Amino acid sequence: MATNNTLLGDILFVADALDTFNIKKDSTYVMMLALQARGARVWHTHVQDLQWQTAAPVTAVATPIDVLSRAQVGESGEWFTPTKAEQRALGDFTCVLMRKDPPFDAEYIYATHLLEQATREGAQVFNNPQALRNHPEKLALLEFASFAPPTLVTRSAQAIRDFHALHHDIILKPLDGMGGAGIFRVKLDAMNLGSIIETLNQHGKATVMVQAYQPAIKDGDKRILLIGGEAVPFSLARIPQGSEIRGNLAVGGKGVAQPLSESDWAIANWFAPRLHARGLLLVGLDVIGDKVTEVNVTSPTCFQEITDQMGFDVAERYADALQQALR
């Protein structure tokens, strides 16, 4: 991918607290490193530090940081050196990278509105805030029904029971979860279905996603990364371990990088240009077998695992795409 000659300058990451990063796995960390290596000055802020006041631009209290490589990190584990925080208009940065992890809740939605206002003031934000808001984690899948397994999104306990009666083996999960949290499997015997429904939908107060169980999960829940309208040629298959039904790395799944299969390429090549045209520079498709189960747009991960196992530098691919996108 060719890049333009736009100077990277100051790049603001809107992300979780830096002291929560696991630098052996975190994708935002290697993004920071790759951009810093290209001459960018990396800044960090939290969603709660975004601010918009009448007759003033959207600002953030942001901190410039020097990012250390894993080889440079000493026994203290400190991987960044901060300097003095400043309140700056988002439009003053070369670009803003929204990397806040889910939950995709009301506060996240409010943040996209502030970031969208910043774009009207001239800021370049990736992923595009309106596109983030229009593609909520998990729920965005239903637009692409032909690629998805049988899926139901509902608050109705009876609709969930009817779905189970039809498909016999189902997965239930909250719409705003991440990392495998709150995922349940119910087999033909319907063991604990009532209790699980009560837990997830809170007696009709919360919406639940239900999907037909995909036996191909034994071979892994594949994360396929789309960057700048193109697929990374390797996926990370997150394989459940032991009696666990979830392949998520956060709950002990084993991550095995592998070349995209013919089916994977067909899926990726269909989604990549369409989602990129909507302002989504980075997308993580979750694929089980030949079915897409989630479309992740908030803070897709798995950069380091693919790079370490396959030698393909995903962060560099991302940096290329970002430079190409800058105007």
**Catalytic member of 296, 305, 317, 320:** 296
Single out the catalytic residue among 26, 116, 264, 294: 294
Which residue out of 221, 286, 305, 320 is catalytically annotated? 286
Sign of CA dihedral 177, 136, 206, 196: negative
Please provide residue 314's backbone torsions phi and psi, each rounded to the nearest 5 degrees. Answer: -65, -40
Q: Is 238 a catalytic residue?
A: yes
139, two tokens: 């729920």
CA 157, 158, 160, 164 torsion: positive or negative?
A: positive
* Residue 25 token pair: 């796995």
291 is catalytic: no
Question: How many other β-carbons are positioned within 10 Å of the β-carbon of residue 93?
Answer: 22
Given the residues 99, 238, 291, 317, the one annotated as active site: 238
Dihedral angle of Cα 249, 254, 259, 261, to the nearest 10 degrees: -90
List 88, 99, 222, 246, catalytic entry: 246
Between the alpha carbon of residue 82 and those of residues 15, 40, 79, the distances in Å are 15, 15, 10
| 231: its two tokens | 């697929």
Q: Is 218 a catalytic residue?
A: no
Annotation marks residue 290 as catalytic: no
Q: One of 173, 222, 291, 317 is an active-site residue; which one?
A: 173
Strand intervals (E) in the chain: 10-14, 41-45, 50-51, 59-67, 80-82, 86-89, 95-98, 125-126, 151-154, 170-174, 184-186, 208-212, 221-227, 230-231, 234-239, 254-259, 282-288, 291-296
**Beta strand 291-296 with 282-288: parallel, antiparallel or unpaired?**
antiparallel
Cβ atoms of 27 and 302 closer than 8 Å? yes
Pick the catalytic residue from 223, 248, 291, 305. Answer: 223
To the query of whether residue 66 is one of the catalytic residues in this protein, the response is no
Place of tokens 């013919």: 262
Per annotation, catalytic residue among 99, 138, 291, 317: 138
Query: Distance between alpha carbon 171 and the CA centroid of its chain, in Å?
Result: 21
The yes-or-no answer on residue 138 being catalytic is yes
Q: Which residues are catalytic?
A: 138, 173, 223, 238, 246, 286, 294, 296
